[in-house]
Amino acid sequence: MLKTEMRNPRTTHLDRMTTAEMLRVIQDENMNAVRAVDGCLDAVGRAVDTATACLRKGGRLVYVGAGTSGRLGVLDASEACPTFGVPEGTIVGVMAGGVEALHRAGEPEEDSSEFGVRDLKAIGLAPADCVVGISAAGGAEYVLAAVEYAKSLGCATVGLTCNEGSPLAQLAGIAIVTDTGAEVVTGSTRMKAGTAHKLVLNMLSTCSMAHLGNVYENMMVNLKPTNAKLRERMVGIVADMRKVGRDEARTLLERAGWSIKGTLNGEMK
């Protein structure tokens, strides 16, 4: 039996716990999610380096998933542009059931190999792209078919799962297995399995973007002044990096056309 489908012996009496007891056991299991990621950092590192190489060559980082896994991929992809200032489509999230499945269950689509291939064809998947299949159990047909199709094109492939030896772990070029074990609520992988996968996706996008020069020191230097909050954040970043007051930082940004990098006098490599 898959570990993600097993009953957790620590929560067999969840329905009789007090609120405090429930919170304690859930938080203890959350810590197991963090430890699970710690155990596969080598594989995450290989995935980061692979994704970075693809992005450098003009390829994309493409997340493919179903259910919670798909939603996490779409979430990470959607935040790449505002965080790192990269063009739309640099990191892409594809999920079974499409946009509609972001706010409703889309279980039937998860079982469709045809849709997995169709949806990657729809985004014009190319050999330079890096495809990350995400499936907690590691057996979603939608994801497996998508990864198989990506491999047939010559794409680099990564499998993110919670079960060692699962079909996805065996299929992908790089397997990232976050062994989170049995969930607090049996089979509910939106919990610590999802937490572990969100942590890994944070690493994949952040590290690859940093390698590509979209982070200076630990600052978001590609921000765009699309709203008041971001403009104020940009002012704060320039004030910190140039060691000036906020008024002077704002003036520097205005002179540079609201480009943080433009205020750095060539300090970025």
Cα separation, 98 vs 119, whole angstroms: 9
Cα separation, 25 vs 212, whole angstroms: 40
Instruction: Give the position of tokens 């469709």.
Output: 112
DSSP sequence for 120-163: HHHTT--TT-EEEEE-SSS--HHHHHHHHHHHHHT-EEEEEESS
DSSP sequence for 247-264: HHHHHHHHHTTS-TGGGS
Cα separation, 86 vs 95, whole angstroms: 21
Helices (H), the chain: 19-38, 41-56, 68-78, 80-84, 107-110, 113-122, 141-153, 167-171, 192-211, 228-242, 246-255
158, 132 contact by CB (below 8 A)? yes
Q: Of these residues, 79, 141, 164, 254, which one is catalytic?
A: 79
61, 51 contact by CB (below 8 A)? yes
Q: Residue 164 catalytic?
A: no
191, 72 contact by CB (below 8 A)? no
Q: Residue 248 catalytic?
A: no
Q: Of these residues, 100, 107, 109, 110, which one is catalytic?
A: 110
Which value, in Å, is the radius of gyration of the alpha carbons in the chain?
21
Residues annotated as catalytic are 79, 110
